[in-house]
Copies of this chain bind each other. A is one copy, B any other.
Amino acid sequence: MILHSSLGPNPRLVRMFLAEKGLAEGRDFQRKHYDIITGENRQDASYIAKNPLGAMPTLELGDGTCLTESWPICEYLEERFPNPNLIGTSAEEDAEVRKWCRLIDQEIVVPMTMGFRATGGRPMFEPRMRVLSEAAGAEMMDYANASWLWLDKALGDKAHVAAGRMTLACLMVYCFANFGFTVGWTLPDGANNIARFLDAHKDRPSAGIWTQSE
């Protein structure tokens, strides 16, 4: 397998998922890094052939099949490499973990991504894709922040988002919050449970194998 990877929360999610599975670069997969600041991922014709949207990451399989979209790539890895389990050990637990993944995706990931691209990330993204107006982008960031506070309340004093252990849902929270920090975002006031959660997991090996930008 070849992981086509870059800066950004979605590539990091897949890198952390691979690391949590015990899959090692060089031994279990190769990694090709792209500089998305300069737009390498949108100019490299061989990459566009693998991922027509030019988005990151892409997991290229041995037969050349290219998988895209971070969450579905993680589901693929879960099916291929079931241990340690990171999504669920029963249909009911799968449903719980995926419920949180979808809520995080719809209520935080999408508004935060659309908001960032239209505000702080505007100089980089506006030439590349359609972005909202700055005013609508600011509303999306506010919406995402309200969702962070809702997630904070749902997390409460628990150590994990779902299923009482580290799952894909935890990794999504970890990657999107920490990416936010690198682009000037801060947790909304009062999100103390999320702050504690992020601190508790900051020394996980999977968080440290690669830097955020790799």
Contact = CB atoms under 8 A, between A and B. Distances in A.
A146 interface: yes
Interface residues of A, number: 37
A88 B84 CA distance: 23
A21 B143 CA distance: 37
B102 A106 contact: no
A206 B156 CA distance: 41
A103 B69 contact: yes
A35 interface: no
A16 B146 CA distance: 32
A61 B92 contact: yes
Nearest to A101: B72
B102 A69 contact: yes
Contact of A106 (B65, B105, B136): B105
A13 to B, nearest CB: 12
Given A72-B102, A79-B94, A135-B136, 12 more contacts: A67-B95, A69-B99, A72-B94, A76-B91, A76-B94, A76-B95, A79-B91, A105-B105, A111-B114, A130-B143, A132-B139, A136-B136
7 pairs of A and B residues whose beta carbons are closest in the complex: A72-B98, A136-B136, A79-B91, A76-B95, A136-B139, A69-B99, A110-B110
